[in-house]
């Protein structure tokens, strides 16, 4: 693998940048692998990387029906934080946040992780109570989170409008300073490059169309648009299409798939120092390194597999943004898009074995799984390699919906980013 360093960059610059090689091997599928990961997003590629790096497994393929990170990995607004309420979730997201903090060094690939903090703005008495509860719960778990008055919030984020005369005045905010953003494609590319270097086959333009099973029930392989592949272990990480792929094995997941939208403005000079989320008026915003304001809109209420949504959803979000940040009223929007999210009833994910031997699933990340990319990949790899969950993901089973042991994070955010 070509290493990135100041020296290698200088050497390539002198050579006119003609010496860079492809960052991962493009291969045709082999007839059999020990493990097949379905889905070439950040979660799937990361899982393959940790299987190879931490568990010493090598005969692995990642099967992607389109191109790497063409799904939600490159469609999201990249908010990374770990200030969730319940012990189970905060330890899962904190595990991930700690991996983010060293990911660029580990992969030798700049994922542009920027810990600029995340302000969650409270507009009602209920918001204040709920966010303070999060602050206390997080601190008991050793996770940074603090409560700011409206004035302190404005000091941290000067464009914030704290006038008492707006529809939903700012009553205060919680702040996780270690929260941040990252470059979404880079996360997938970094994992792909490192996994490929460890011998993982990355196969694009190959759709999984069926799951093969022995008469005794266990998985024996997959059918794909590029032929059948035999394997004894299948890890499914396909975000919005989890119900479709698990349905191929006859498993019905407790998921609903909805479009979620985002949009960006024209690029402007650095004007926005942090991430701001407002659950009540439903808006969240940060500024990308290119200068665009990255704005997350809401989930369409209908079920759909189209990667777009209704215009009224981003329109509502923009009204809210303009109220919170009047200086953005004259910004022009550049483009908008949607992605399909797979939402569980308790808004917490599933990272688990299934009832079928050899079939594992990592799904239900809904609107908030980008932040979990390294953590989920790391724990999913553990679950597949050892055929048992790590203590951190042990509560995140499919069976919790049968047994009633929910991890109810619906209040984590209006759309759980
Ligand atoms: C608009 C939007 C904003 C968001 N904002 C945030 C945010 O700010 N913070 C946050 O933490 N999360 C956010 N999310 C959620 C986050 O994007 C996802 O939870 C996360 O990226 C999922 O990653 P993944 O690797 O599982 O999925 P994906 O990147 O979608 O990868 C799954 C892959 O599986 C492939 N696939 C599907 N079916 C098949 C098949 N049959 N055969 C082979 N391959 C298949 C797809 O092509 C896709 O590439 C947002 C999502 C959206 C849509």
Distance 230 CA to ligand 1 centre (A): 26
- pLDDT at residue 411, as a whole number: 62
- pLDDT at residue 2, as a whole number: 84
Distance 316 CA to ligand 1 centre (A): 24
Rounded to whole angstroms, what are the CA distances from 204 to 19, 61, 69, 243, 286?
A: 24, 10, 10, 21, 31
- pLDDT at residue 379, as a whole number: 98
Distance 113 CA to ligand 1 centre (A): 18
Mean pLDDT on 2-11: 91
Where is pLDDT greater, at 33 or 408? 33
Read off the tokens for 388. 């048992």
Kindly provide the b/e burial profile for residues 198-217, where b requires at least 16 CB atoms within 10 angstroms of the residue's own CB.
bebbbbbebebeebbbeeee
| Cα of 118 vs its chain's centroid, Å | 16
Distance 156 CA to ligand 1 centre (A): 31
Ligand 1, atom 9, residue with closest C-alpha:
79
Does CATH number 3.60.21.10 belong to domain 27-82+84-109+183-254+346-412? no
pLDDT band at 194 (very low <50, low <70, confident <90, very high): very high
Instruction: Say yes or no to pLDDT of 417 above 60.
Output: no
The 3-state DSSP class for residue 141 equals: coil
Distance 326 CA to ligand 1 centre (A): 32
How many other β-carbons are positioned within 10 Å of the β-carbon of residue 73? Answer: 27
Q: Which atom of ligand 1 is nearest to the CA of 262?
A: 1
| Cα of 45 vs its chain's centroid, Å | 12
Mean pLDDT on 32-60: 98
What would the DSSP string read from start to end of 66-77? SSTT-SGGGTS-
Angle at 313 between CA 307 and CA 315, to 5 degrees: 120
Instruction: Say yes or no to pLDDT of 413 above 90.
Output: no
Cα–Cα distance, 359 to 232 (Å, whole number):
8
Distance 117 CA to ligand 1 centre (A): 23
Ligand 1, atom 13, residue with closest C-alpha:
368
Q: Provide residues with CB under 6 Å of ligand 1.
A: 38-44, 63-66, 69-73, 75-79, 207-208, 237-239, 241, 245, 260-262, 296, 339, 341, 365, 367-371, 417
- The strand ranges marked E within 225-364 are 227-230, 233-236, 256-265, 275-278, 283-287, 293-299, 333-343, 350-353, 359-363
Q: What stretch of H or E contains 118?
A: strand 118-122
Distance 318 CA to ligand 1 centre (A): 24
Mean pLDDT on 256-262: 94
Distance 146 CA to ligand 1 centre (A): 30
Read off the tokens for 220. 């024996």
Cα–Cα distance, 348 to 412 (Å, whole number):
10
Cα–Cα distance, 172 to 168 (Å, whole number):
12
What fold does the segment set 118-179+257-343 form as a domain? Answer: D-Amino Acid Oxidase; Chain A, domain 2 (3.30.9)
Describe the crossing of helices 42-55 and 373-386 by its angle, rounded to 10 degrees.
50
pLDDT in tens, 349-364: 999 999 999 999 999 9
Residue from 243, 367, 378, 413 whose mutation best tests the ligand 1 pocket (most atoms within 8 A of CB): 367
Residues of the chain with CATH 3.30.9.10: 118-179+257-343
Residue from 46, 72, 373 whose mutation best tests the ligand 1 pocket (most atoms within 8 A of CB): 72
Residues of the chain with CATH 3.50.50.60: 27-82+84-109+183-254+346-412
Residue from 93, 246, 298, 370 whose mutation best tests the ligand 1 pocket (most atoms within 8 A of CB): 370
Cα–Cα distance, 90 to 81 (Å, whole number):
9
Cβ proximity of 119 and 167 under 8 Å = no
Mean pLDDT on 22-40: 95
Ligand 1, atom 21, residue with closest C-alpha:
73
| Cα of 349 vs its chain's centroid, Å | 11
Distance 373 CA to ligand 1 centre (A): 10
Cβ proximity of 194 and 2 under 8 Å = no
């Amino acid at each position: 693998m070509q290493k990135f360093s100041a020296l290698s960059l200088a050497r390539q610059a002198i050579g006119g940048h003609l010496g860079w090689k492809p960052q991962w091997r493009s291969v045709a599928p082999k007839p059999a692998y020990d493990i097949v990961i379905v889905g070439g997003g950040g979660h799937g590629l990361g899982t393959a990387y940790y299987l190879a790096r931490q568990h010493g497994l090598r005969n692995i393929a990642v099967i992607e029906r389109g191109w790497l990170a063409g799904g939600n990995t490159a469609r999201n607004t990249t908010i990374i934080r770990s200030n969730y309420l319940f012990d189970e979730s905060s330890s899962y997201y904190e595990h991930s946040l700690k991996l983010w903090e060293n990911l660029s060094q580990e992969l030798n690939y700049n994922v542009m992780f920027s810990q600029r903090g995340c302000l969650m703005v409270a507009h009602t008495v209920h918001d204040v109570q709920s966010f303070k509860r999060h602050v206390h719960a997080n601190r008991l778990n050793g996770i940074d989170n603090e409560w700011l008055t409206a004035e302190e919030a404005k000091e941290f984020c000067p464009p914030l409008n704290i006038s008492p005369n707006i529809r939903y005045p700012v009553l205060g905010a919680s702040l996780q300073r270690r929260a941040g953003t990252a470059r979404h494609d880079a996360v997938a590319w970094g994992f792909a490059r490192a996994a490929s270097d460890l011998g993982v086959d990355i196969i694009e333009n190959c759709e999984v169309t069926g799951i093969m099973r022995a008469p005794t029930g266990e998985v024996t392989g997959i059918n794909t648009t590029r032929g059948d592949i035999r394997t004894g272990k299948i890890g499914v990480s396909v975000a919005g299409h989890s119900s479709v792929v698990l349905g191929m094995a006859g498993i019905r997941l407790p998921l609903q798939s909805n479009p979620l939208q985002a949009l960006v403005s024209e690029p402007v000079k650095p004007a926005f120092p942090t991430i701001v989320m407002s659950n009540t008026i439903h808006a969240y915003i940060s500024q990308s390194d290119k200068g665009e304001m990255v704005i997350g809109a809401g989930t369409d209420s209908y079920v759909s597999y189209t990667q777009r949504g209704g215009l009224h959803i981003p329109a509502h979000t923009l009204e809210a943004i303009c109220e919170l940040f009047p200086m953005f009223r004259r910004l022009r929007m550049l483009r908008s898009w949607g992605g399909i999210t797979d939402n569980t009833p308790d808004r917490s994910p599933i990272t688990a074995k299934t009832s079928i031997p050899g079939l594992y699933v990592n799904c239900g990340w809904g609107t908030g799984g980008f932040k979990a990319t390294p953590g989920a990949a790391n724990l999913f790899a553990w679950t597949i390699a050892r055929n048992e969950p790590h203590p951190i993901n042990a509560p995140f089973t499919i069976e919790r919906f049968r047994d009633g042991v929910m991890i109810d994070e619906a209040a984590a955010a209006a759309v759980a980013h």
